[in-house]
Amino acid sequence: MPENIDVRFYMENRHPKNKLLDGVGSALHSMCVTKSISWAEAYDLLIKASGELGQMPQNKKAIHLMLSRSGFYLQSGAMANYSISELIELFDSIFSDGEVVILNLSRSEQNGRYIPIVPIYENEKVRYVLKYPFNVVNKASVEEVWISWKDGLDHSIMPRRKRKTKPKTQINNTKDNATLKVYNENPNDNLIGDCVVRAVAGVFGISWAEAVEKLAKAQDYAGTIINNNSNIEALLRKEGFQEFEPIKRNGKILTGAQFCDLIHDMFQEGTKIFAYAGVYHVVAILVFENDYKIVDTWDSTNEKIIKYWAKFPEVRSKRKERKQEPKKDDKKEVILSLDIGTRIKHDTLGEGEIIEIGKGIVTINFTSGMQKKLSEQWVLANCSAV
């Protein structure tokens, strides 16, 4: 009779906050258990693989590279026909020198579901067990088998045949325009769902790989999906960005093109802007030749800017004015002081009233219905008294 499979399960969760493991979390947990490393060390290995491939950390290609670089060898698909309990019994009979195994239970092209199988020593006998937050020994089939031998060499029981595949050529025909700068921060020029990484790379002026690392560290390695909103906003807050509601004109949210055209006169030179262009897309908005432009791999300038984050420069300076014909009778009343109730006027935003002042930021209600938070220096430099 086979041994009771329940004794093959040890409850364990290596997530630093003991959270439920998603696909990426399961891979990191498995690395921690099999290689006796910390969660942060495992995450750093995944970040390195992600940066080298130009793929998101949750992509299976990045996880596979992390495993192979850590001494694991993928076995033939024939081995995946075994159940978990059958594989555990097989490992008992063929391994004796501390070999460790990671099984993938998912067919998904994204991340997967990884579980570690490791040896324990009882009464001078080696037994293989599953160490995971919950017992899946009897509840799942195996799709991939990764084995790491103690000597680091490949002693595959069922070697996997390596397939030669030609990389797909990706062509981007998008062109620059008045409010768009076409640029791909991805190190391999991949056109993938990495807009968050590209936008972070843009606003911080760092490489794509460095942006992945910065996002991973935003919640001290606890957030395994680096491009979800909670992780993005944790990073932006940590880096001193302020959150702003959408700008509206006649009750309608401005598009990216309209937004770029307007903010030239709103923000000081050196202001970094991270914007949500629609619900599922983000972009960096940076200055090129004295004009703000969206930096993207496709033309997202018609998407509405539903929210944005801005970080103002420590040394504030007035932006260079655009070249324009001088206006006749263009006499402006100088603002002598900023107080709650003071009425001001801006050429683009119109008239408004100051309703709040604090920490160098002035909140103004404009007659158009907009409410804006602007720096005191900017208001004094760009607005006139009514």
**Residue extents of the structural domains in the chain:** 5-148, 180-311, 343-385
Sheet holding 305-311, edge to edge: 180-182, 291-296, 282-288, 272-277, 305-311, 242-244
Give the model's pLDDT for residue 4.
47
Give the model's pLDDT for residue 263.
87
- Give whole-number Cα distances, 241 to 46, 53, 235, 277, 376, in Å: 27, 29, 9, 17, 17
- Beta strand 282-288 with 248-249 is unpaired
Cα(131)–Cα(133) distance, integer angstroms: 7
Q: Is 201 helix (H, G, I), strand (E, B) or coil?
A: helix
Give the model's pLDDT for residue 38.
97
Nearest to 104 by CA among 144, 70, 74, 137: 144
When mean pLDDT is compared across 69-83, 108-122, 231-245, the lowest value belongs to 108-122
Q: Cβ atoms within 10 A of the Cβ of 362, count? A: 25
Mean of pLDDT values over 19-48: 96
Cα(295)–Cα(301) distance, integer angstroms: 10
Give the model's pLDDT for residue 305.
97
Mean of pLDDT values over 5-15: 84
Mean of pLDDT values over 223-248: 93
pLDDT digits (tens, 9 = 90+) for 56-109: 999 999 999 999 999 999 998 878 778 888 899 999 998 977 899 999 997 766
Strands (E), the chain: 9-11, 73-74, 100-104, 114-122, 125-132, 144-148, 180-182, 242-244, 248-249, 252-253, 272-277, 282-288, 291-296, 305-311, 343-346, 350-358, 361-366, 371-375, 384-385
Mean of pLDDT values over 361-382: 80
The answer to whether the beta carbons of residues 91 and 125 sit under 8 Å apart is no
Mean of pLDDT values over 218-230: 90
| Average pLDDT score over the chain | 87
Q: Is 132 helix (H, G, I), strand (E, B) or coil?
A: strand
Residue 350, pLDDT above cutoff 70:
yes
pLDDT digits (tens, 9 = 90+) for 127-166: 999 999 988 877 677 899 999 998 889 988 777 776 666 6
Give the model's pLDDT for residue 273.
96
Q: Is 173 left (phi over 0), alpha (psi -120 to 50) or beta?
A: alpha
The answer to whether the beta carbons of residues 288 and 181 sit under 8 Å apart is yes
When mean pLDDT is compared across 58-72, 108-122, 313-327, 372-386, the lowest value belongs to 313-327
The answer to whether the beta carbons of residues 243 and 307 sit under 8 Å apart is yes
Q: Give the model's confidence band at 327: pLDDT under 50 very low, under 70 low, under 90 confident, else very high.
A: very low
Question: What tokens appear for 365 in the block?
Answer: 């209600």
The answer to whether the beta carbons of residues 33 and 118 sit under 8 Å apart is yes
Q: Give the model's confidence band at 206: pLDDT under 50 very low, under 70 low, under 90 confident, else very high.
A: very high
Give the model's pLDDT for residue 37.
97
Residue 325, pLDDT above cutoff 50:
no
Give the model's pLDDT for residue 3.
46
Give the model's pLDDT for residue 185.
94
The predicted model scores a pTM of: 0.79
* Residue 138 vs residue 298, higher pLDDT: 298
The answer to whether the beta carbons of residues 336 and 385 sit under 8 Å apart is yes
Give the model's pLDDT for residue 111.
63
Give the model's pLDDT for residue 326.
47
- Give whole-number Cα distances, 381 to 204, 270, 284, 310, 319, in Å: 27, 16, 26, 19, 10
Rg (CA), the chain: 28
The answer to whether the beta carbons of residues 378 and 266 sit under 8 Å apart is yes
CATH placement of domain 5-148: 3.90.70
Give me the torsion for CA of 84, 87, 88, 94, rounded to 10°.
-170
Residue 190, pLDDT above cutoff 80:
yes
Give the model's pLDDT for residue 6.
61
Question: What tokens appear for 133 in the block?
Answer: 């937050």
Q: How far apart are the first and last CA of the chain?
A: 92
Q: Give the model's confidence band at 42: pLDDT under 50 very low, under 70 low, under 90 confident, else very high.
A: very high
Cα(252)–Cα(107) distance, integer angstroms: 44
Give the model's pLDDT for residue 138.
74
**pLDDT above 90 coverage of the chain, percent:** 54
- Give whole-number Cα distances, 34 to 12, 118, 171, 265, 334, in Å: 12, 6, 41, 56, 69
Residue 23, pLDDT above cutoff 80:
yes
Backbone φ, ψ for residue 221 (5° rounding): 70, 10
The answer to whether the beta carbons of residues 176 and 182 sit under 8 Å apart is yes
Mean of pLDDT values over 229-240: 94
**pLDDT above 70 coverage of the chain, percent:** 89
* Residue 18 vs residue 328, higher pLDDT: 18
